[in-house]
Amino acid sequence: MLPFKPGGVSQPVAFRGPMLHRALQQFLADVWWGDLDVLLLDLPPGTGDIAISVAQLLPAAELIVVTTPQTAVAEVAIRAGMLAQQTKTRVSGVIENMSAFPCPHCGEPMDLFGSGGGQMVAETLSRELGTDVPLLGRVPFDVRLREGGDSGQPLVLTDPDAPASTVLREISTRLGTRARGLAGMSLGLTPAGRL
């Protein structure tokens, strides 16, 4: 569907609303996913076409809002979370990424990007949506998370005792203990070439 070359994509792919919807539909319908427990889609921030398309194509989808501690970012995350009200999507929780960074000299936490953004998002969404939206976890800033993403070797495997690894496992446990998974369920989509 989208070209990917090792080392990066040389040409930008610009999609408008209908093309983006069709590409997402094809991606969801034509890929053989096997038996899934969870399918995570990392969407761009905001309230645009892609979030609306996901809600239309996967009506049972749930939303995890990811923010940083910064107030400006948290405000954007709140707007994205509020889209759930219009699309009738359940918000499973909030994750605060890039939380405190342990000082390399003394180990004391340093709030490089401020503090409290995740809690602010969780509290605001809980109040505005009228349902409990928990703060699932605060992932501490660790450059090895980025390095692991670049190398394909996640920090939870290379250093399972790292504070960020511990928080990520706790988040996945909280989400994984919920009653329903996707195993044996159809995504409810028709292969795009057969529409």
Q: Concatenated DSSP letters for 47-84?
A: SSHHHHHHHHH-TT-EEEEEE-S-HHHHHHHHHHHHHH
Contact 49, 87 (CB under 8 A): no
DSSP conformational letter for 114: B
Contact 69, 118 (CB under 8 A): yes
Residue 131 pLDDT = 95
Residue 39 pLDDT = 83
Distance between CA atoms of residues 90 and 85, nearest Å: 8
Per-residue pLDDT tens for 61-95? 889 999 999 999 999 999 999 988 888 889 999 99
Q: How much is the pTM?
A: 0.82
DSSP conformational letter for 186: -
* Right CATH for 18-96+111-137 from 3.40.50.300, 3.30.1360.20, 3.40.50.10680, 1.10.3720.10: 3.40.50.300
**Average pLDDT, consecutive stretches of 10 residues, N- to C-terminus, the chain (195 residues):** 52 73 87 81 77 86 93 93 90 95 86 93 97 96 92 95 95 80 57 52
Q: Concatenated DSSP letters for 15-42?
A: --HHHHHHHHHHHHHHS---S-S-----
For the chain, what are the domain ranges?
Answer: 18-96+111-137
